[in-house]
Amino acid sequence: MSYPKTNHLMARGAAFLGSEYAILCGAMSWVSERNLVAAISNAGGFGVIACGAMTPELLDAEIAATKTLTTKPFGVNLITMHPQLFELIEVCGRHNVGHVALAGGIPPKGSVEALKAAGAKVLVFAPTLALAKKLLRGGADALVIEGSEAGGHIGPVATSVLAQEMLPALADEYLVFVAGGIGRGEAMAGYLEMGAAGVQLGTRFACATESIAHPDFKKAFFRANARDAVASVQLDPRLPVIPVRALKNKGTEEFTQKQREVGLLLDQGSVDMMEAQLRIEHFWAGALRRAVIDGDIENGSLMAGQSVGMVTEEEPVAAIIDTLLAESEAALTRR
Ligand SMILES: Cc1cc2nc3c(=O)[nH]c(=O)nc-3n(C[C@H](O)[C@H](O)[C@H](O)COP(=O)(O)O)c2cc1C
């Protein structure tokens, strides 16, 4: 199949990524490992390894293993607050990883420079136009804007609004990829027409045939509707809760209860602030792994975006990408 209109709109993004299509599969901790990453890149998209909390040794092994499964380009996503960020950057440099995304906060001083010195192109995330401009002027090569419809850690603003704020201001001069809530090709076409260089999807790919996610994790996705993918709520402003969008389950209910309990202990003076924050942070430690790898869909974290309602069956990555492209092309042809 050929998709001339879509390819035309994706040309800049695809040239930047070195892939056939400017469709990134956003890094998903535990899910975006060698198998899914290689499958995405082999199908013409751009796979990204989720480093998450991996040590430099584990990242080294994951990149090496991915290279045995694909000769196509793929990227690595590093979390900015990782205590060994600069060692992870060195690992990427040693493997000549072409693209690194810095996620989870403002890139620390020297990190963008270190990546560029290692020969990588740098993708950054920014929740506001002012920060986006600062990072792009400061040397980042591309921007990902991610709206609150997305799965995982989210900001407060919807993709549709971020796209209207950011694309007209930035897309002529810079490469901007749009993420969050994209489940079909028509939506992809819409953002491309607004000037996006490409798109990033996570939820739509999480349950692909090639994904190693546990069968029960996948079944939970197939059963879920958009309204089941809810953002975690912060009950007490004293406690650190970064909103995460995930499917409702026993764990999300217990988390609300946990916040109440810890808030009460703080009021009573039976724990100090440090202990309270630790109790909250520990609640979810390992929870995504429990859901994705062990299939504990009751107590684990089922991170998913609102597009989960459009994920109804297990399909190979290549079929998902073909569907997205065909839907996009049909939409662009109708106009
Ligand atoms: C299960 C899951 C885990 C995720 N883990 C990460 C992560 O480790 N790092 C990151 O930058 N984004 C992470 N994300 C966000 C994705 O990379 C991607 O940007 C997002 O899923 C796009 O929105 P969508 O889910 O609406 O397609 C995760 C998303 C999901 C669904």
Is the CB of residue 182 below 6 angstroms from any atom belonging to ligand 1?
yes
Residue whose CB lies within 8 A of the most ligand 1 atoms, among 23, 24, 29, for a mutation test: 29
For residues 197 and 10, give the distance between their C-alpha atoms in angstroms, rounded to a whole number. 6
Q: Token pair for residue 323?
A: 């569907």
229-231 and 244-247 as β-strands: parallel, antiparallel, unpaired?
antiparallel
Q: Across the chain, which distance is largest between two alpha carbons, in Å?
A: 66
Is the CB of residue 148 below 6 angstroms from any atom belonging to ligand 1?
no
Q: Report the separation in Å between the CA atom of 26 and the middle of ligand 1, taken as the mean of its atom positions.
A: 6
**DSSP character at residue 108:** P
152-153 and 244-247 as β-strands: parallel, antiparallel, unpaired?
antiparallel
Amino acid identity of 174? Y
Full pLDDT tens readout for the chain, 335 residues: 899 999 999 999 999 999 999 999 999 999 999 999 999 999 999 999 999 999 999 999 999 999 999 999 999 999 999 999 999 999 999 999 999 999 999 999 999 999 999 999 999 999 999 999 999 999 999 999 999 999 999 999 999 999 999 999 999 999 999 999 999 999 999 999 999 999 999 999 999 999 999 999 999 999 999 999 999 988 888 888 889 999 999 999 998 998 899 999 999 999 999 898 888 888 887 899 999 999 999 999 999 999 999 999 999 999 999 999 999 999 999 87
Q: DSSP E strands: which ranges in 137-205?
A: 142-146, 152-153, 175-179, 198-201
Phi, psi of 73 (to 5 degrees): -70, 145
**Smallest CA separation from ligand 1 atom 6, residue:** 28
pTM to 2 decimals? Answer: 0.96
Is the CB of residue 241 below 6 angstroms from any atom belonging to ligand 1?
no
